């Protein structure tokens, strides 16, 4: 369980390095990430290398016991490289070449860029392969943007399509190119999606292609690093709920996933928790936070500073959800460059007087006390939510804008489950569900045979499955299925859907069988129950003849269908009823307090976190030991603002 900082020695004069190293040691920072955007300092001219400064900075850090994660610097190709090979710069959708002066300014399919990336990575890896201070590598920085629309990307796309579809007839058929005369008669005619309102099948394949190209470039880096320094780990800093890459694919060859966590406000706590769980779900193992917010950040504006205690709260929140290391972005606020207003653990003045520095020291000393017990403990969950990138993408009917917000649809269920203190795993549609009591699938457009059989088997053997609206409406080509909805799983749900309505403007009420009335929102699948029992029905207008929520018993299991969006209160009650037996006993907390469990050798570590700037009260009905303070606690307990307890 490392506590670290993202450090940029190249931003500071050499004389400062020993002071930084000393301050790090005093605060308990035992790891730094280095060299992330340092290409112009590592290779100042074509094929001319300078690692001396990095060696020197690392030696100074080593004296204070600070370990290093080195990054490949490829997220920021230097000006000499762009000057020689302009075509590395991505061609934007509007036909303009991206200018030099930001970062991530490279075309992901560019062969020349592969060559120069490989060369600098090889040099770095050779130089540091036997250096024990370097424990691992980070590849590039935050893959995913921008998209490139150059001729080479077009050729690669056409090639990718040819491999996939083999014949043009097959492609024309699969994309439904009979519509608006889109049939192609040669592969070279297939464009990149620069016009709006394109064909959704085309669009989906382009998204897959773009994701594959990122994975390919990323895998090149992983394989190269592994071949030269096989005993160091390789990771990448993912971006939580970023929707544009298939993160399962991207994660596959990394040793573990890391991610960059900028919560930006207490009200984001469920999104952040979900993002942690998505990150843990990519490889089904604990992860790192490679950039953790430690103060105000700059995007278009300067976000509010963190209140004292908030950085500590978010840090424990990361550990609670399965982080093995938390690395703060960044060690010291930079005085120049685009992020000059972005906080660091140290502010611009570099003194130890900052709020974040004091807090870091507190967190580090606490972590020292609990490390041995907590390290390697796992987040074990009785409930799983399906999270699937193709289902995110098919929901983008018109390229830029999704029809419905995928993560918001997940959050409706997720919040209700988390509020009960129940851990959630994030899974793929084809994973083995047998260890879960409940599996939830919000906004799952695509249900192919494999997925349908997987769900059926799970419910047959006693599982509880909950589907959200628009379940199974599409096939793998993003075309609508011809069968009666919900398609392949009609029997499982014991009902049919012959009609639906988009509820953006409409006010439709839903009444549950116990009499509560809620206003439906977003979308309504209008359900005709057959074997299923209605749990809620639409009330007004012509919708009133249909059910809104149903449950069906299927073999040993149950399947629920929630046909429309509803206010959070509905999900809270609905989920509480279904999950009755799973709620951890013995601890009562109000809504602003999160409970999350990690387990190891039969021991349960219960993280109790107060996401409020006010005091909260919780109730423990038996005696627990608070791990950090080694204190016994029982009964009514006062939680200070942002307080965290780890109970055993």
CB atoms within 10 A of CB 625: 12
**CB-side exposure of 605: number of CA atoms within 13 Å?**
26
CB atoms within 10 A of CB 132: 11
Residue with tokens 């959200």: 468
Identified binder of ligand GLA from the candidate list 205, 291, 388, 501, rule CB under 6 A: 291
Residue 262 touching ligand GLA (CB under 6 A): yes
Degrees (nearest 5) of the Cα angle 400, 406, 409?
145
CA distance 554 to 550: 13
CA distance 48 to 407: 46
Residue 107 touching Zn ion (CB under 5 A): yes
Q: Count residues near Zn ion (CB under 5 A).
A: 4
Identified binder of Zn ion from the candidate list 69, 70, 153, 383, rule CB under 5 A: 153
Among this protein's residues, is 142 annotated catalytic? yes
- Among candidate residues 118, 142, 509, 592, the one labeled active-site is 142
DSSP three-state, residue 518:
strand
Identified binder of ligand GLA from the candidate list 339, 352, 509, 572, rule CB under 6 A: 339
Cα radius of gyration rounded to whole Å, the chain = 26
Q: Count residues near ligand GLA (CB under 6 A).
A: 9
Among this protein's residues, is 291 annotated catalytic? yes
**CB of 150 or CB of 323, closer to Zn ion:** 150
Residue 342 touching ligand GLA (CB under 6 A): yes
Query: In terms of Cα–Cα distance, which of 247, 243, 210, 204 is closest to 476?
Result: 204
CA distance 113 to 214: 13
| Distance, CA of 405 to chain centre | 15
Identified binder of ligand GLA from the candidate list 89, 91, 294, 297, rule CB under 6 A: 297
DSSP three-state, residue 100:
coil
- Which partner from the list Zn ion, ligand GLA, none does 339 bind, CB cut-off 5 to 8 Å by kind? ligand GLA
Q: Which stretch binds Zn ion (CB under 5 A): 34-42, 147-155, 349-357, 395-403?
A: 147-155
Residue 88 touching Zn ion (CB under 5 A): no
**CB of 143 or CB of 319, closer to ligand GLA:** 143
- Which partner from the list ligand GLA, Zn ion, none does 575 bind, CB cut-off 5 to 8 Å by kind? none
Q: How far is the CB of 354 from ligand GLA (least distance, A)?
A: 17
Sign of the torsion formed by the C-alpha atoms of 561, 565, 569 and 572: positive
Residue 192 touching Zn ion (CB under 5 A): no
Residue 288 touching ligand GLA (CB under 6 A): no
Task: Let me know: does 290 contact 235? Beta carbons within 8 Å.
Answer: yes
Residue 7 touching ligand GLA (CB under 6 A): no
Site string for ligand GLA, 36-75 (x = CB under 6 A): ----------------------------------------
Identified binder of ligand GLA from the candidate list 35, 72, 109, 141, rule CB under 6 A: 141
CA distance 438 to 459: 9
Identified binder of ligand GLA from the candidate list 7, 329, 331, 465, rule CB under 6 A: 329
Q: How far is the CB of 613 from ligand GLA (least distance, A)?
A: 23
Task: Let me know: does 464 contact 437? Beta carbons within 8 Å.
Answer: yes
DSSP three-state, residue 115:
helix
Q: How far is the CB of 75 from ligand GLA (least distance, A)?
A: 8
Beta bridge partners of 625: 632
Task: Let me know: does 212 contact 202? Beta carbons within 8 Å.
Answer: no
- Which partner from the list Zn ion, ligand GLA, none does 34 bind, CB cut-off 5 to 8 Å by kind? none
Question: What are the catalytic residues?
Answer: 142, 291
Binding site for ligand GLA (CB under 6 A): 141-142, 260, 262, 291, 297, 329, 339, 342
């Amino acid at each position: 369980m490392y506590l670290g900082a993202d450090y940029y020695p190249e931003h500071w004069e050499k004389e400062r390095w020993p002071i930084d190293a000393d301050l790090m040691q005093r605060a308990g920072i035992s790891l730094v990430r280095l060299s992330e955007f340092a290409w112009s300092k590592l290779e100042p001219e074509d094929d001319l290398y300078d690692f001396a400064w990095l060696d020197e900075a690392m030696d100074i850090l080593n004296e204070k016991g600070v370990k290093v994660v080195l990054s490949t610097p490829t997220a920021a190709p230097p000006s000499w490289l762009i000057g020689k090979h302009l075509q590395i710069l991505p061609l934007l959708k509007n036909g303009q070449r991206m200018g030099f002066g930001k970062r991530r300014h490279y075309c992901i399919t560019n062969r020349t860029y592969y060559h120069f990336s490989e060369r600098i990575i090889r040099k770095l890896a050779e130089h540091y392969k036997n250096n024990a201070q370097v424990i691992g590598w980070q590849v590039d920085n935050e893959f995913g943007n921008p998209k490139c629309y150059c001729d080479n990307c077009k050729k690669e796309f056409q090639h990718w399509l040819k491999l996939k579809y083999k014949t043009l007839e097959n492609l024309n058929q699969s994309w439904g190119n009979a519509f608006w005369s889109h049939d192609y008669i040669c592969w070279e005619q297939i464009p990149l999606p620069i016009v709006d309102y394109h064909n959704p099948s085309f669009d989906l394949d382009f998204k897959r292609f773009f994701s594959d190209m990122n994975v390919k470039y990323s895998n090149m880096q992983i394989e190269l690093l592994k071949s030269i320094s096989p005993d160091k780990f390789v990771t990448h800093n993912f971006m939580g709920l970023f929707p544009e890459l298939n993160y399962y694919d991207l994660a596959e060859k990394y040793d573990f996933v890391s991610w960059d966590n900028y919560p930006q406000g207490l009200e984001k706590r469920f999104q952040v928790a979900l993002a942690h769980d998505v990150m843990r779900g990519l490889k089904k193992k604990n992860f790192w936070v490679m950039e953790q917010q430690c103060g105000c950040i700059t995007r278009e504006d300067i976000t509010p500073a963190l209140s004292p205690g908030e950085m500590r709260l978010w840090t424990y929140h990361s550990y609670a959800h399965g982080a093995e290391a938390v690395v703060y972005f960044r060690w010291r606020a930079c005085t120049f460059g685009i992020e000059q207003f972005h906080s660091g653990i140290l502010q611009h003045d570099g003194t130890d007087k900052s709020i974040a520095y004091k807090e870091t020291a507190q967190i580090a000393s606490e972590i020292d006390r609990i490390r041995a017990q907590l390290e390697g403990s796992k987040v074990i969950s009785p409930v799983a939510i399906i999270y699937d990138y193709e289902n995110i993408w098919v929901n983008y009917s018109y390229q830029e804008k999704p029809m419905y917000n995928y993560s918001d649809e997940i959050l409706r269920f997720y919040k209700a489950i988390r509020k009960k203190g129940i851990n959630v795993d994030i899974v793929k549609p084809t994973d083995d569900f047998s260890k879960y009591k409940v599996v939830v699938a919000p906004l799952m457009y695509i249900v192919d045979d494999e997925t349908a059989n997987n769900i059926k088997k799970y419910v047959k053997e006693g599982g509880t499955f909950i589907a959200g609206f628009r379940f199974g409406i599409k096939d793998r080509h993003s075309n609508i299925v011809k069968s009666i909805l919900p398609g392949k799983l009609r029997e499982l749900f014991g009902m049919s859907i012959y009609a639906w309505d988009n509820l953006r403007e409409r006010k439709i009420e839903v009444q549950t069988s116990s009499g509560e009335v809620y206003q439906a929102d977003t979308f309504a699948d209008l359900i005709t129950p057959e074997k299923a029992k209605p749990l809620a029905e639409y009330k007004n207008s012509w919708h009133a003849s249909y059910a809104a929520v149903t449950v069906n018993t299927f073999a040993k299991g149950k399947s629920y269908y929630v046909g429309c969006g509803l206010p959070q209160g509905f999900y809270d009650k609905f989920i509480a009823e279904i999950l009755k037996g799973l709620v951890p006993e013995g601890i009562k907390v109000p809504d602003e307090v999160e409970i999350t469990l990690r387990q190891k050798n039969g021991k349960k570590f219960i993280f109790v976190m107060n996401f409020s700037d006010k005091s909260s009260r919780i109730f423990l009905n038996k005696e627990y030991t608070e791990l950090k303070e080694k204190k016994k606690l029982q009964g009514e307990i006062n939680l200070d603002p942002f307080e965290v307890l780890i109970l055993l």
